[in-house]
């Protein structure tokens, strides 16, 4: 099953189990969504539960908040993660602070098809997860495998708080994997994608696959043979799985952190700060970061490839750190 089919499976499973679950978004009903995540849903669940909304991102999130506090469990699709900027205020100021201020939880899930790599240009390629990590009261998840895509979707819908679900567009049809049948939840915690002992690459989303490819059978410049490299898939960015991160650092002593997002204040910056604060004595070299520079994601393939972290960039960063 593809990553995309797994997201659909998670949504379908919860909609069958819980009539409070309601999908809202632009072109998600009759058309089945810009990426076809909800293709065929309207036939099974009807137009009320697979709602084609006006083109209004603030409206989608704001009305979802209202529906949630009277007992619905809305899942909002932003057609592209980039468009969530138009619904930002409702997530940050209304949904994120409601429980703290008034004891009223807001059970909404906001799906953000994110990431670049296919010439989407500056407004169809962003990775805005850090916007939400920085604001209290919002959980942020970012699956990298088909199994986790389904399990995290189910867990996000069941979580009583606002959850921003980052789904990487570049994984939709490229990533395939076995997905358990029936209903299950993936916990909001990190996962060791590959064991290792000499260096750990800490990352999430599409960069998990980039990291796995970059470090598979990685030889150093000095030619000492395949290095033992761990890849830690964060899976959830808020809350960060701090014990898993610190444990990986203790086990490997060398750390490369990879973000597809712009580097300043990215999720990886928080991981680096955490390590500096709590695992300084466990390090055997500087913490190395690989991320997109602070530029909009450009359109033309050579420009885009120059910006997004590549397999080669991650491999070279690991090589250099291994030789430190």
Partner 1 sequence: MATSSTAAQTGPNTPSDSLPEHLTLDDRVGLLRAMLLMRTIEERAMNLYRQGKVPGSFYDGFGQEAVSVGPAWAMAAADRLCPLHRDLGAHLVRGVAPWRIMSQYMGREAGITHGRDGNVHFGDYRTGCVGMVSMLPDMMLVATGMAMAFKLRSEQRCALSWFGDGSTSRGDFHEAMNWAGVQHLPVIFVLENNQFAYSTPLHQQFAVNPVERAEGYGFLGTSVDGNDAEAMFEATRAARARALEGGGPTLIEAVTMRMHGHAAHDDMKYVPKALFDEWRAKDPIDRQSARVAAQGVDVDALKAEVREQVEQATQKALEGEMPDPATATERVFHPRDAEEVLLEDGTAPWSGFPE
Where along the sequence are the contacts to partner 1 (CB under 8 A)? 22, 48, 53-54, 56, 58-59, 61-72, 89-90, 93-94, 97-105, 136-137, 139, 158-161
Q: What is the DSSP letter of 99?
A: H
Give 89 or 195: the residue with its C-beta nearer to partner 1.
Answer: 89
Give 94 or 283: the residue with its C-beta nearer to partner 1.
Answer: 94
Q: What is the DSSP letter of 218?
A: P
Measured in residues, the chain has a length of 324
The answer to whether the CB of 237 falls within 8 A of the CB of 188 is: no
Q: How far apart are the first and last CA of the chain?
A: 41
Least distance in Å: CB of 52 to partner 1?
Answer: 10
Give the closest residue to 237 by CA, choosing from 214, 215, 267. 267
Give 54 or 302: the residue with its C-beta nearer to partner 1.
Answer: 54
Q: How many CB atoms lie within 10 A of CB 251?
A: 16
Give 63 or 126: the residue with its C-beta nearer to partner 1.
Answer: 63
Least distance in Å: CB of 109 to partner 1?
Answer: 14
Q: What is the DSSP letter of 324?
A: -
Tokens of 273: 């700060």
Least distance in Å: CB of 74 to partner 1?
Answer: 8
Give how far Cα 280 sits from Cα of 251, 253, 273, Å. Answer: 13, 10, 10
CA angle, 225 as apex, 224 and 230 as ends, to 5°? 110
CA angle, 72 as apex, 153 and 75 as ends, to 5°? 35
The answer to whether the CB of 190 falls within 8 A of the CB of 18 is: no
Helix (H, G, I), strand (E, B) or coil at 115: coil
Least distance in Å: CB of 153 to partner 1?
Answer: 16
Tokens of 52: 């084609």
Dist. CA 7–CA 13, nearest whole Å: 10
Least distance in Å: CB of 160 to partner 1?
Answer: 4
Give 49 or 191: the residue with its C-beta nearer to partner 1.
Answer: 49
> What residues are labeled active site?
124
Give how far Cα 224 sits from Cα of 51, 220, 258, 319, Å. Answer: 58, 6, 24, 11
Give 19 or 195: the residue with its C-beta nearer to partner 1.
Answer: 19
Dist. CA 146–CA 180, nearest whole Å: 10
Least distance in Å: CB of 83 to partner 1?
Answer: 13
């Amino acid at each position: 099953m593809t990553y995309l089919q797994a997201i659909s499976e998670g949504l379908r499973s919860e909609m069958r189990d819980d009539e409070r679950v309601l999908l809202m978004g632009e072109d998600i009903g009759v058309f089945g969504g810009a990426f076809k995540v909800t293709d065929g849903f309207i036939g099974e669940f009807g137009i009320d539960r697979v709602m084609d909304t006006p083109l209004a991102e603030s409206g989608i999130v704001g009305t979802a908040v209202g529906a949630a506090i009277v007992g619905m469990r809305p899942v909002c699709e932003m057609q592209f993660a980039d468009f969530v900027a138009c619904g930002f205020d409702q997530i940050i100021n209304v949904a994120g602070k409601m429980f703290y201020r008034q004891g009223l939880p807001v059970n909404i899930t906001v799906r953000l098809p994110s990431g670049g790599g296919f010439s989407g240009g500056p407004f169809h390629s962003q990775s805005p997860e850090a916007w939400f990590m920085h604001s209290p009261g919002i959980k942020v998840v970012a699956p990298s495998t088909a199994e986790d895509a389904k399990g995290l979707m189910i867990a996000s819908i069941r979580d009583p708080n606002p959850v921003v679900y980052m789904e990487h567009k570049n994984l939709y049809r490229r990533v395939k994997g076995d997905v358990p049948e029936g209903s299950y939840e993936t916990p909001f915690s990190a996962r060791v994608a590959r064991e290792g002992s000499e260096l750990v690459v800490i990352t999430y989303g599409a960069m998990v696959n980039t990291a796995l490819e970059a470090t598979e059978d990685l030889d150093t410049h000095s030619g000492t043979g395949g290095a033992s490299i761990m890849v830690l898939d964060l899976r959830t960015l808020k809350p960060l799985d701090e014990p898993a991160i610190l444990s990986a650092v203790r086990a490997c002593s060398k750390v490369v952190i990879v973000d597809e997002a712009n580097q300043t204040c990215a999720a990886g910056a928080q991981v680096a700060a955490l390590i500096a604060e709590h695992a300084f004595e466990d390090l055997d070299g500087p913490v190395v970061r690989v991320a997109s520079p602070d530029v909009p994601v450009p359109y033309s393939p050579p420009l885009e490839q120059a910006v997004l972290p590549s397999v080669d960039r991650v491999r070279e960063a690991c090589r250099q750190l291994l030789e430190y």
